[in-house]
Structure 1
């Protein structure tokens, strides 16, 4: 069984007019998952995460400062492209909630896997810095939750967003219990993600791609760098930072992937999860800013999670 976590609060995080990280992204995902092929999804509304849960990956005083900074009206800028609106806090806390509740479901055997269709993304959020559209790092909190609540000894995060997950890398740089693997375009925002960035324990694995690379280069990077490390690490849980902005239609980057490339990557990760951790996979939506490309890619990804 695949659980889909989604909540109307995902529409209430507002950004300036013309901003790529906009509520319409959620409507595109909703439409993509509304067909008969997805009738078998177990659809659940996530509860907001507690501050103490968010503080598994971010200092509690910093988390509370972010919560206090949210406006009652209008927008507050954190940086040039990251904002808070009146609906942001409920939205982001439910996003973290979806991540940890997905972990609870797969770690207890209540579901085979889970997909969180929430926004904004989280993988750029460093330990004490919100940036790149991201407020809290959902994947990082989920990994720490798996460790502290469910006793997972090893957690792997696989990030195929077109932008490097600098926040996840920052949080787990010196943590040998979490393997972080990232494919991404380079050079591109945020400027990190070189092969040489390996972490204190060699558990950071970067596989940068060049502008113009397509499915062949993406699959080669997965097969040569990501999948062997997953096999060697033998995780107890795999978390996917599932961004779909490497799609050829996306306006924020220059990779040339198609929906089937994401489906292929999902199959590869699920095979390793079946081999090492009873199939436990929690997938979290990250980027994807062309609405057509996002919808097609999410549909292909979730169909594979469902065993199609």
Structure 2
């Protein structure tokens, strides 16, 4: 059961997120969300979460991080049937843009929940993911930068001066870095396999970006070394008022999308470190948003341990 010290953990999703799909065999598939739900039920965690329907982001919320011309271009590209490709890896079907609006809206709602104290932390089980999307371009399965929308909302509507972004996806969050590099209100810390798609992040674009590239074949030992030597000292010095996580689970040993070998214990460990830091500096406030993770079994198991640690279950 949840500890007395912890508030409720909110779980935000929307049915539209399962209607977005990019063609047979695409790894970023609707079954990802079903695999997470099934594992949370099997692990006995489902009933301890506060389940909420994610709202749609507004145009004004998206315009904080995306160009107006990009939003207009997307609205004109939605197909009546079939698919339209936004880049070689990223397609939209007739339902995708609605899913993308709800994916971004989940982060906004989650920020409001934790900033109001109604939830101590939140997990957004949404797709399409977001951290590769830049101000004016979709890429790498991502349409809107969900984490960036959430962070910009926290800065604008909750008047925060220090928000930390933590990205442990196996791919560098190039879109998030594009949006926030040089913004001293934001510290972004990340690990990623390098060299690897999208072949960026080393060197970082600005001093508020702390990127730790990991070599092919790295395990959880390398993750822990990076966190202890680089992330935690920087985060402690920054004293974030809110932590927003790009929670990608595609660095798992069983995920053939990458060549890095994390396991569930590694995701549990990093979540414990972030929760402790949030409790010390940010009143426990964490918003975690799903990014990658394409092996369905390891994705479900990894999200389960992530939520178990977030909620103090």
Query: Equivalent residue for 1:209?
Result: 214
Deviation at 1:250, TM superposition (A): 0.6
Q: Does 1:255 pair with 2:260?
A: yes
Q: Does 1:170 pair with 2:175?
A: no
The partner residue of 2:239 within 234, 245, 248 is 234
CA distance in 2, matches of 1:67, 1:268: 40
The partner residue of 1:297 within 289, 292, 302 is 302
Query: Equivalent residue for 1:179?
Result: 187
Query: Equivalent residue for 1:285?
Result: 290
TM-score normalised by length of structure 1: 0.97
CA distance in 2, matches of 1:165, 1:278: 26
Deviations 1:7-44 (A, max 9, x none): 11111111121111111111111111224333110000
Gaps of 5+ in 1: none
Deviations 1:149-202 (A, max 9, x none): 0111111100000000000011011211111111010011000121x3151xx1
SS, match of residue 44 in structure 1 = strand
CA distance in 1, matches of 2:280, 2:39: 30
Contact 2:240 2:281 in 1 (8 A): yes
Matches within 5 A, 1:72-111: 72-111=80-119
Query: Equivalent residue for 1:138?
Result: 146
CA distance in 1, matches of 2:112, 2:76: 28
Moved more, 10-19 or 96-105: 10-19
The total of aligned residue pairs comes to 305
TM-score normalised by length of structure 2: 0.96
CA distance in 1, matches of 2:185, 2:77: 33
Q: Does 1:220 pair with 2:225?
A: yes
CA distance in 1, matches of 2:234, 2:103: 28
Deviations 1:282-301 (A, max 9, x none): 00000000001101100010
CA distance in 1, matches of 2:45, 2:118: 22
When the two chains are superposed, the root-mean-square deviation of aligned CA atoms in Å is 0.9
CA distance in 2, matches of 1:37, 1:181: 29
SS, match of residue 245 in structure 1 = coil
SS, match of residue 282 in structure 1 = strand
CA distance in 2, matches of 1:207, 1:228: 13
Gaps of 5+ in 2: 1-7
Contact 1:163 1:184 in 2 (8 A): yes
